[in-house]
């Protein structure tokens, strides 16, 4: 392309992109993006299918034949045990996670919980979103609260038939109406982007101390009341400011999320 056409192209592109960004400020759901995520969820399913097939073939057929051949089993025993130990550790960790989730579901039998697995994370270091393997078909919906046994994870911001994008509470765009459980002081929990949270709009003279549990207040209509968000890590009361600077530790380890629950519709109270 000749140099004299590049400059107009540069200018036109810049204008187009600025228009795109201005649309983005209003967060219009882009159908094309949903299609991408939907397609991606199928790619992951298709990529998993041969692995599942090979694993099934091994576990249900080849391994059983080998089991009958005693000599071969004995020769392979040490190696199998070594591999088995590694696999066992993974299964044990998964078992612990799933038991915690099962216990959580039993603790709230009336709560419509929909389980999902994480199949992807945000491509950038700055923004904090997850992609789940469940979507509209499985009962997920836009603005659905997403939790783990430890507490609140985030909410669904985009949805397709078989995938959902979740905005984590630690993202800088996230805001959750909250209340300190013991003192009932209200505020807004915001993500800081660094894995921690801040509780905003709490007056400096309010009764807040480190270790206080912060739960969702139910205001705003998105998150049910009473979901654990985190605990107060530190408080600073600058002398010339109206509001205290309160930092929270999230209730869930955000970097280690593999399975989550979506909370179904019409749930006003968790406890």
Q: Which residues bind other proteins (CB under 8 A)?
A: 1, 6, 9-10, 13, 17-25, 27-28, 30, 32-37, 40, 43-44, 47, 119-129, 131, 157, 165, 167, 171-173, 192-195, 255-256
Find the shortest distance in angstroms from Cβ 40 to other proteins: 7
Q: Smaller CB distance to other proteins: residue 30 or 62?
A: 30
Find the shortest distance in angstroms from Cβ 16 to other proteins: 8
d(CA 31, CA 27): 12
Contacts of residue 229, defined as CB under 8 A and 6 or more positions apart, other chains included, come to: 151, 152, 169, 176, 178, 189, 197, 214, 215, 216, 248, 250, 251
d(CA 195, CA 207): 25
Find the shortest distance in angstroms from Cβ 120 to other proteins: 4
Question: SS3 for 58?
Answer: helix
Torsion over CA of 222, 114, 45 and 118, rounded to 10 degrees?
Answer: 60
Q: Smaller CB distance to other proteins: residue 115 or 195?
A: 195
Q: What is the DSSP letter of 208?
A: -
Contacts of residue 252, defined as CB under 8 A and 6 or more positions apart, other chains included, come to: 148, 150, 151, 152, 153
Q: Smaller CB distance to other proteins: residue 66 or 121?
A: 121
Find the shortest distance in angstroms from Cβ 170 to other proteins: 10
Find the shortest distance in angstroms from Cβ 164 to other proteins: 12
Q: Smaller CB distance to other proteins: residue 30 or 73?
A: 30
User: Is residue 27 left, alpha or beta, with left meaning phi > 0 and alpha meaning psi from -120 to 50?
Assistant: left
CA Rg value for the chain = 24
Q: Smaller CB distance to other proteins: residue 131 or 185?
A: 131
Q: Smaller CB distance to other proteins: residue 36 or 64?
A: 36
d(CA 159, CA 31): 10
Find the shortest distance in angstroms from Cβ 69 to other proteins: 35
Find the shortest distance in angstroms from Cβ 270 to other proteins: 25
Q: Smaller CB distance to other proteins: residue 26 or 85?
A: 26
d(CA 136, CA 29): 15
């Amino acid at each position: 392309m000749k140099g004299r056409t590049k400059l107009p192209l540069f200018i036109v592109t810049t204008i187009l992109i600025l228009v795109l960004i201005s649309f983005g400020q209003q967060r219009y759901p882009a159908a094309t993006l949903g299609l991408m995520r939907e397609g991606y969820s199928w790619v992951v399913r298709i990529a998993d299918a041969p692995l599942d097939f090979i694993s099934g073939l091994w576990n249900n057929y080849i391994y059983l034949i080998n089991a009958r051949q005693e000599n071969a089993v004995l020769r392979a025993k040490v190696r199998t045990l070594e591999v088995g130990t590694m696999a066992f550790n993974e299964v044990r960790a998964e078992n612990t996670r799933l038991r915690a989730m099962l216990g959580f579901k039993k603790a709230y039998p009336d709560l419509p919980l929909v389980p999902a697995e994480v199949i992807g994370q945000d491509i950038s270091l700055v923004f904090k979103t997850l992609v789940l393997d469940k979507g509209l078909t499985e009962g997920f919906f836009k603005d659905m609260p997403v939790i783990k046994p430890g507490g609140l994870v985030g909410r669904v911001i985009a949805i397709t038939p078989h995938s959902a994008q979740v905005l984590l509470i630690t993202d800088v765009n996230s805001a959750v109406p909250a209340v300190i459980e013991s003192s009932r002081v209200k505020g807004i929990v915001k993500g800081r982007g660094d894995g921690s949270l801040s509780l905003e709009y709490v007056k400096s003279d309010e009764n807040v101390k480190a270790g206080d549990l912060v739960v969702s207040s139910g205001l705003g209509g998105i998150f049910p009341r009473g979901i654990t968000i985190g605990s107060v890590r530190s408080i600073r009361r600058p002398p010339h400011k109206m509001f205290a600077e309160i930092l929270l530790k999230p209730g869930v380890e955000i970097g280690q999320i593999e399975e989550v629950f979506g909370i179904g519709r019409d749930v006003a109270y968790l406890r």
